[in-house]
Amino acid sequence: MPRGLLKPVILSLLSDRPRHGFEIMEETSVRTGGMWRPGPGEVYPALLWLEERGHVEVQAGGERARKPYAITDKGLAAIDNLDDLLEDWETTMDRPEAIWRPPEGAVAR
Instruction: Report the domain count for the chain.
Output: 1
**C-alpha pair distances (Å), 63 with each of 37, 66, 67, 68, 74:** 23, 5, 6, 8, 25
pLDDT tens for each residue of 44-88: 999 999 999 999 999 987 566 688 999 999 999 988 877 666 666
CA-CA-CA-CA torsion sign (64, 34, 46, 51): negative
Cα 98 to its chain centre, rounded Å, is: 26
Residue 14 has pLDDT above 80, yes or no: yes
Residue 10 domain boundaries: 6-75
81 in a structural domain = no
| CATH code of 69's domain | 1.10.10.10
107 in a structural domain = no
Q: What is the mean pLDDT of residues 32-54?
A: 93
61 in a structural domain = yes
Instruction: Give the confidence band of 106 by pLDDT, cuts at 50, 70, 90.
Output: low
Residue 13 has pLDDT above 60, yes or no: yes
What is the reported pLDDT for 66? 80
Separation CA 51–CA 39 (nearest Å): 18
**C-alpha pair distances (Å), 59 with each of 51, 87, 91, 108:** 11, 32, 38, 56
What is the reported pLDDT for 81? 78
28 in a structural domain = yes
The pTM of this model reads 0.73
